Amino acid sequence: AGAETVKRAVQLDVACRFQESLVCYQEGIDLLLQVVKATTDEAKKQRYRQKIKEFTFLSDGKYHKQIRIEENATGFGYEKLFHEYLTEIVSEVWVEDPYIRQVHQASRHLLYNFLRFCEMLVKGPCKVKTIHLLTSYDEGSGRSQQMTALEEIKQSLSNYGVTLNIDFSSSIHDREIRFNNGWMIKIGRGLDYFKKPQGRFSIGYCDFDLRPCHETTVDVFHTKHTKKM
């Protein structure tokens, strides 16, 4: 019963029904702790403790979930990875990634990745009105191409009623994405976790769900608020 209550709490959290989820978290973990105390079988105790550890929930309402993407795994397109956190109330998004650039390098089309991420937001169930991008300048001759590409994305988004605010920093290192419903996603490789396709006409070139991934870790947090950059 405790495990089922905690699972229900996660579902409520995803739906942004925070007060209900808080009650479920507290009730579920209390039930599991009571079972641990009442159980004399050490093996069962260990299993129940593991169940509790599967959900990291702090008293101030913070939630943490970790997803590990294995080397060459498929099925992790942006829609699949982010869909459960992009609820209808999402209207503002913050993207911090120092490498939204280098479109001229055949192996790292990060500007195209950012464009695909924006396309997901435009067609999703959310009603995104503003996207904040914090990245770093490309080096050398690539800067002009970077600026041209970002301005083109900005103009294109405006046709859909979405404002793109772009800021640059030479000191950022973190890669994270925040939504104004409180969800924060940190991906070890940022948006660049897909491998280069074998060819321009190979399966996975257009559909990211079919493209093999690099090994990386995705950490999902909920903080009940989103810090603006």
Distances (CA, A) of 82 to 29, 76, 120, 178, 187: 27, 9, 9, 11, 11
pLDDT, mean of residues 100-116: 71
Overall average pLDDT of the 110-115 stretch: 91
- Both tokens assigned to 89: 């109330």
Residue 184: C-alpha distances to residues 104, 175, 228 (Å): 30, 11, 12
Q: DSSP secondary-structure letter at 191?
A: T
Are 149 and 112 in contact by the 8 Å Cβ rule? The answer is no
Sign, Cα dihedral of 92, 82, 120, 201: positive
In this structure, the dihedral spanned by the alpha carbons of residues 61, 57, 83 and 190, taken in order and rounded to 10 degrees, is 100
**pLDDT (average), residues 108-123:** 89
Segment 167-214, tens digit of pLDDT: 999 888 889 999 988 889 999 999 999 998 888 899 999 999 999 999
**What domains are there in the chain, each with its CATH number?**
1-60 (1.20.58.80), 65-222 (3.30.870.30)
pLDDT at 105 over 70: no
Mean pLDDT rounded to a whole number for the chain: 82
Calpha distance 90→148 (Å, rounded): 28
* Structure token pair of residue 153: 């994305």
What's the DSSP call for residue 136? -
Q: Band the pLDDT of 163: cuts 50, 70, 90.
A: very high
| DSSP-derived 3-state class of residue 27 | helix
Of the two residues 47 and 53, the one the predictor is more confident about is 47
Contact call for residues 221 and 183 (beta carbons, < 8 A): yes
